[in-house]
Amino acid sequence: MSAALNLFLNQLLNGLTIGMVYALIALGYTMVYGVIGLINFAHGEVFMVGAYLALTAIWLAASFFPGIPFGLTLLFLILFSMAGASILGALIEKIAYRPLRRSPKLTALITSIGVSFFLQNAVMLIYGSKEQSIPDIVPMTRLKIGAISVSLIQILIFSVSIGLMFFLTWFVKNTKTGKAMRAVSENPEAAQLVGISPNRIIAATFILGSALAAVGGSLFALNYGSINFHDGYLAGLKAFTAAVFGGIGSIPGAMVGGILLGVFEGLGAGYISSEWKDVFAFLLLGAVLLFKPSGIMGNNVSEKV
Amino acid sequence: MLALFPLLDRNAYHLDLATGVGIYVILAMGLNVVVGFAGLLNLGYAAFFAIGAYVYALLSLHAHTPFWIGLPISGVVAMGFGFVIGLPAIRVRGDYLAITTLGFGEIVRIAFNNLSAWTGGPNGLLGIERPKIWAPTWKGHFGFELISFGVSALPYFYLVLVLIAVIAFFLFRLMDSKFGRALVAIREDELAASCMGIPVVQIKLCAFGISSFIAGLAGCVFAAKQTIVTPDSFDFILSVLILAMVVLGGMGNIWGAALGAVVLGFLPEILREFAAYRMLIFGVLMILVMIFRPQGILGGQLIRRELTRPIKEGS
Amino acid sequence: MSKKAVFFLLFSSVFFFCGFEDKKETISVGAAAPLTGPQAYIGIGMMQGAQMAVEDANVKGPVFGNTKLSLVAVDDQSNPTQAVLMANKLIADPQVVGVIGHFNSSCTKPASTIYHEGRMAQITPASTNPEISRQGFDTFFRICATDDVQAPAAARFAAKELGVKKIAIIDDKTTYGVGLATVFEKEFKALGGTVLSHDGITQGEKDFAPLLAKVQSLGPELVYFGGVYPEMALLVRQAKKMGLEALWMGGDGIFDVTLIKLITPPLATGIYATMLGVDPHSIPEARDFVTRYEARYGEIGSFSAYGYEAMNVLIEAIRRAGKNDRQAVLAQIKAMKDYPGILGVINFDKNGDAIGKSVGVYKVEDGKFVFLQEAKA
């Protein structure tokens, strides 16, 4: 295989890796927007908290069960991070958004900014303002698939993300809660009339979205090997872009939007200029909004959550 | 009364701080035109502020343009960008304007960071000229001399104060005009307004342009005061902070926006004694104010009426 | 609410802070460094050095008459705009007679304009960019070597000692990073080497995989980074995970134990760095300071001794000036001859740069920087 093709595949792989993480965060933005029409700016911070929880889980695992296989540590850190972030998501909704259910969207937007400031600074106070190094718990082996080499952590990111996306699609389609989410997003009053409690469903949406963001945060931390308290901001912004790109409110849209954004960014950074990659992301968004304002999958009303 | 502040408090740092807050006040009043009066969300307001600052910086460094000529040029260039960004976005749903402006804000910041040959990249542009004025002097005989503002914040404080007064006067007149009533009509019910024959897109675009112009002016003053502009002074957090000032003070109220800017501008300083906890407390206060006073500190009657209605899809 | 009431609110909130004015008769020295943000670790180390110099001076007795010294520490967050704001704050304070700082060249340079306007002496313990002293400001002094010494030494080491032919260069686009990388590139080419690529990155960025994949495809033997340790750590770690087989090298900005902690010692092994001067542990004159510092704060930071040294020069000038007068202090620094510092004798040239300052080449082994050789201009 030629070196040029090899490089291309490598760049594609890099893009897909970060795209998967974007997709996991974007799902939370899109679900919350679908249900209550709020741009939850604090969602990027939930992702960041998820990454720190993963780090905490690694510390805990290392001090209480030294020498356990990395697979178990991995499972523990993901579950730990999901659980912590779910609680956080529920709390944010209850404290910062529920009292404002009948206020204009902008008011809730400001509280979400307040939550964002709070979480960033709380994490900074707890873990320090320094970049935190994440121990390499996943072995650094590389697998040859055809001519390209994939790291174990990349395989992990792909399998976990894709698995979660399938689960979420199934959950929204088939479970009672999932159906209720769709109902609330279609018409909250009508949903209430048929006996759905919007508050419970909205809380469930926040919990689900936060758990997914936490997984994204854990994978992000493991992949880059370090984490900082402002990492939530840019990742959140990108994921939000991905959600709009895919069509805000649409679950498959967020997945496709996230992955495409990652690939677009990876290829742009690899072939044009790595300094301008964030610009590519936002230009892409602008172009989509100009030519297809509802986002690439925005017409998919039946899947709206 | 405010003009007396420097006489009562001679601490140079407080004066500097007050001047910085004054620039926030200008920005908040400017953003209020779009967010409060027109009901449009702009999440990239810092970009217009940045454009104003860089325009004056470049004019000053390359053409030695005096501040007083640079000031209107900065405003007009920022307004030009406002039209370019606003035109496609305003036609579609409100949320899209928010996202387009957000993207624009990031693009502008990154562009200033990467176009090192023109903007100095992350190191910024330094050596921007300070404003100069003809001041009366006495050297044996009475005369006038061109003197620079210098290092002290005092002249900047008065400059900002004058600008605030001019902008506030202009905005009050504007809101009492036909244009102002059309804006409010659009915010309250766009469909009804357009049925009444109000040219919705033009009016919205106009509001967007005025708002960008004010940000450009603020940027020019900021650049002249700092004598340095760097891209990271204009990040997304700043856009968000100004928006928070408008909403906190009370959307659609000119003095409300100014008050929001004063409160949020001084709060981190007041909280300084809490040291590491101050931004944490800042966040909590933002949440609490919104929960207990969703219409903002000085929320107007008009807005309050609007608040009693539940949110409608696609507003 | 009436307009009058609004005015009152605006007014009273402004007045919230009145009455905090400081009227003590002590004389102050300023010190500016990043105390928060990603580079805080290195900045705090520098500040602790400066703090110890002030305390040492006060233990010895009043600097003149009955005056004691106090330190005004300001945080520039490694941000040029913040640096200018803080410089303004320092010159606005009539008690401050001189300043040491800043750490980053991109902060030192714009701030030097302000100190020059305020006629206040500025001694940088750490900013190595040569351009800063060429601005013609008589208020600017530097006690460390510049990148005109550091980058050629690094290039010579790479070409001659390591025998590297093909390299890739990355910089962080700051005054420091670009300056260092550019001089390195020029010198390396002059020695007959090939520079395959020279890319810029943005500080605070996290994902360097696309850039590194590109660099990997070019097959360099060494990657030189002009920048500071937080980004270096990410670059090296991601490169190693990706399987990029190349040596890594950087300047004094990456010389901090935090770098090794972030990359983890096994992966950091083999990184080369140039650092100003030699290890303070190995200098007899510095031993007392190093021992006291480490007893108080733990392991010495890369620039702690430089912070201490710069502050000592400033304090000596104040002592000689004998009054609270910026101009007199400035004149005393200019007139200083053969100042016996803990890191060597200091003499300033006409630009304010210390004469004859060397750099050392280091390599990471077993989780620490090991001294290899010294290089002079």
What are the chain C neighbours of B258 within 8 Å (beta carbons)?
A: 6, 10
What pLDDT does B275 receive?
Answer: 67
Instruction: Tell if the CB–CB gap between C114 and B227 is shorter than 8 Å.
Output: yes
Predicted confidence (pLDDT) per residue in C221-255, tens digit: 999 999 999 899 999 999 988 889 899 999 999 99
Whether C70 maps to a domain, the answer reads yes
Q: Is there a single domain that holds both residue C227 and residue C366?
A: yes
* Mean of pLDDT values over B84-99: 75
Q: Is there a single domain that holds both residue C226 and residue C364?
A: yes
pTM: 0.86
Report the chain A residue with the minimal C-alpha distance to residue C267: A136
Q: How many residues does chain B have?
A: 315
More confident residue, B40 or A156: A156
Q: What mean pLDDT, rounded, does chain B reach? A: 85
pLDDT at C157 over 90: yes
CA distances for A190 relative to A171, A196, A249, angstroms? 22, 9, 19
Predicted confidence (pLDDT) per residue in B149-165, tens digit: 877 788 999 999 999 99
Instruction: Tell if the CB–CB gap between C214 and A270 is shorter than 8 Å.
Output: yes
Nearest by CB: B283 against A107, A115, A248? A115
Whether A264 maps to a domain, the answer reads yes
Tokens of A29: 């933005």
How close, in Å, is residue C36 to chain A by CA atoms? 7
Chain B interface mutation, best of A39, A107, A109, highest count of B Cβ atoms under 10 Å: A107
**B202 touching C, CB under 8 A?**
no
What pLDDT does A305 receive?
Answer: 39
Burial of C82 (0-12, 13-18, 19+ CB in 10 A): buried
How close, in Å, is residue A161 to chain B by CA atoms? 26
What pLDDT does C11 receive?
Answer: 46
**B270 touching C, CB under 8 A?**
yes
* Mean of pLDDT values over C68-79: 92
What are the chain B neighbours of C35 within 8 Å (beta carbons)?
A: none
Report d(CA B246, CA C93) in Å as an integer: 34
Report the chain B residue with the minimal C-alpha distance to residue A244: B99
How close, in Å, is residue A302 to chain C by CA atoms? 36
Report the chain C residue with the minimal C-alpha distance to residue B109: C202
Q: Is there a single domain that holds both residue C155 and residue C270?
A: yes
Task: Fill in the amino acid letter for A195.
Answer: G
**B46 touching C, CB under 8 A?**
no
Predicted confidence (pLDDT) per residue in B233-287, tens digit: 898 889 988 998 998 888 888 899 999 999 988 887 787 677 678 778 888 888 8
Instruction: Tell if the CB–CB gap between B279 and A244 is shorter than 8 Å.
Output: no
Predicted confidence (pLDDT) per residue in B216-227, tens digit: 999 999 999 988
Phi, psi (deg, nearest 5) at residue C98: -170, 165
**A291 touching B, CB under 8 A?**
no
Q: Is there a single domain that holds both residue C124 and residue C90?
A: yes
Predicted confidence (pLDDT) per residue in B117-149, tens digit: 899 888 889 889 999 988 887 777 888 888 888
The pLDDT-based confidence of B93 (bands split at 50, 70, 90) is: low
Helix (H, G, I), strand (E, B) or coil at A145: strand
Q: CA nearest C306: which of C133, C80, C143?
A: C143
More confident residue, A200 or C204: A200
Nearest by CB: B230 against C17, C80, C93? C80
The pLDDT-based confidence of C87 (bands split at 50, 70, 90) is: very high
What pLDDT does A302 receive?
Answer: 37
What are the chain C neighbours of A131 within 8 Å (beta carbons)?
A: 38, 230, 233, 262
Nearest by CB: B230 against C13, C14, C81? C81
How close, in Å, is residue C346 to chain B by CA atoms? 30
Chain C interface mutation, best of A22, A130, A143, A278, highest count of C Cβ atoms under 10 Å: A130
What pLDDT does C325 receive?
Answer: 93
How close, in Å, is residue C84 to chain B by CA atoms? 7
Whether C326 maps to a domain, the answer reads yes
Q: Is there a single domain that holds both residue C193 and residue C118?
A: no
Residue C209 belongs to domain with CATH number: 3.40.50.2300
**B163 touching C, CB under 8 A?**
no
pLDDT at C22 over 80: no
Whether A4 maps to a domain, the answer reads no
What pLDDT does C305 receive?
Answer: 95
How close, in Å, is residue A268 to chain B by CA atoms? 15
What pLDDT does C30 receive?
Answer: 96
Q: Is there a single domain that holds both residue C138 and residue C157?
A: no
What pLDDT does B144 receive?
Answer: 83
Instruction: Tell if the CB–CB gap between C264 and A133 is shorter than 8 Å.
Output: yes
**B7 touching C, CB under 8 A?**
no
How close, in Å, is residue B172 to chain A by CA atoms? 23
**C213 touching A, CB under 8 A?**
yes
**Which residues form the domain of A221?**
9-303
pLDDT at A2 over 50: yes
The pLDDT-based confidence of B10 (bands split at 50, 70, 90) is: low
Q: Which fold has domain B2-297?
A: ABC transporter involved in vitamin B12 uptake, BtuC (1.10.3470)
Predicted confidence (pLDDT) per residue in A22-34, tens digit: 999 999 999 998 8
pLDDT more than 90, % of chain B: 40
Residue A161 belongs to domain with CATH number: 1.10.3470
Q: What mean pLDDT, rounded, does chain C reach? A: 89
How many independent structural domains does chain A possess?
1
Chain A interface mutation, best of B81, B91, B97, B99, highest count of A Cβ atoms under 10 Å: B99
Size of interface A-C (CB pairs under 8 A): 84
Q: Is there a single domain that holds both residue C36 and residue C113?
A: yes
pLDDT at C140 over 90: yes
**A125 touching B, CB under 8 A?**
yes
Report the chain A residue with the minimal C-alpha distance to residue B108: A279
Which subunits count as partners of chain A given 3+ CB pairs below 8 Å? B, C
**A286 touching B, CB under 8 A?**
yes
Nearest by CB: B284 against A110, A118, A282? A118
How many independent structural domains does chain C possess?
2
Whether C4 maps to a domain, the answer reads no
What pLDDT does C205 receive?
Answer: 83
pLDDT at A105 over 80: no
Nearest by CB: B290 against A111, A241, A283? A111
Tell me the β-bridge partners of C360: C275, C374
Instruction: Tell if the CB–CB gap between B9 and C10 is shorter than 8 Å.
Output: no
Q: Is there a single domain that holds both residue C370 and residue C244?
A: yes
Whether C9 maps to a domain, the answer reads no
What pLDDT does B7 receive?
Answer: 66
Instruction: Tell if the CB–CB gap between C173 and B14 is shorter than 8 Å.
Output: no
Nearest by CB: A278 against B89, B92, B110? B110
What pLDDT does B313 receive?
Answer: 39
Instruction: Tell if the CB–CB gap between C200 and A275 is shorter than 8 Å.
Output: yes
Tell me the β-bridge partners of C362: C273, C371
Instruction: Tell if the CB–CB gap between A17 and C213 is shorter than 8 Å.
Output: no
**Which residues form the domain of C222?**
148-276+360-375
pLDDT at C2 over 70: no
Whether C354 maps to a domain, the answer reads no
Which subunits count as partners of chain B given 3+ CB pairs below 8 Å? A, C
Q: CA nearest C171: which of B121, B110, A281?
A: B121
Q: What is the 3-state secondary structure (H, E, C) of chain C?
A: CCHHHHHHHHHHHHHCCCCCCCCCCCEEEEEEECCCCCCHHHHHHHHHHHHHHHHHHHHHCCCECCECEEEEEEECCCCHHHHHHHHHHHHHCCCEEEEECCCCHHHHHHHHHHHHHCCCEEEECCCCCHHHHHHCCCCEEECCCCHHHHHHHHHHHHHHHCCCCEEEEEECCCHHHHHHHHHHHHHHHHCCCEEEEEEECCCCCCCCHHHHHHHHHHCCCEEEEECCHHHHHHHHHHHHHHCCCCEEEECHHHCCHHHHHHHCHHHHCCCEEEEECCCHHHCHHHHHHHHHHHHHHCCCCCCHHHHHHHHHHHHHHHHHHCCCCHHHHHHHHHHCCCEEECCEEECECCCCEECCCCEEEEEEECCEEEEEEEECC
What are the chain C neighbours of B121 within 8 Å (beta carbons)?
A: 173-174, 178, 200
Whether C121 maps to a domain, the answer reads yes
Q: What mean pLDDT, rounded, does chain A reach? A: 88
Report the chain B residue with the minimal C-alpha distance to residue A238: B103
Q: What is the 3-state secondary structure (H, E, C) of chain B?
A: CHHHHHHHCCCHHHHHHHHHHHHHHHHHHHHHHHHHHCCCCCCCHHHHHHHHHHHHHHHHHHHCCCHHHHHHHHHHHHHHHHHHHHHHHHHCCHHHHHHHHHHHHHHHHHHHHHCHHHHCHHHCEECCCCCEEEEEEEECEEEEEEEECCCCCHHHHHHHHHHHHHHHHHHHHHHHCHHHHHHHHHHHCHHHHHHCCCCHHHHHHHHHHHHHHHHHHHHHHHHHHHCEECHHHHCHHHHHHHHHHHHHHCCCCHHHHHHHHHHHHHHHHHHHHHHHHHHHHHHHHHHHHHHHCCCCCCCCHHHHHHHCCCCCCCC
What are the chain B neighbours of A107 within 8 Å (beta carbons)?
A: 247, 290, 294
How close, in Å, is residue A194 to chain C by CA atoms? 44
pLDDT more than 90, % of chain C: 71
* Mean of pLDDT values over A256-280: 89
More confident residue, C357 or C195: C195
* Mean of pLDDT values over C173-188: 94
What pLDDT does C81 receive?
Answer: 86
**A230 touching C, CB under 8 A?**
yes
Instruction: Tell if the CB–CB gap between A15 and C210 is shorter than 8 Å.
Output: yes
In this prediction the ipTM stands at 0.83
What are the chain C neighbours of A15 within 8 Å (beta carbons)?
A: 210
| Contacting A residues, span 75-134, partner chain C, CB-CB under 8 Å | 129-131, 133
Nearest by CB: B233 against C18, C81, C92? C81
Q: Is there a single domain that holds both residue C158 and residue C272?
A: yes
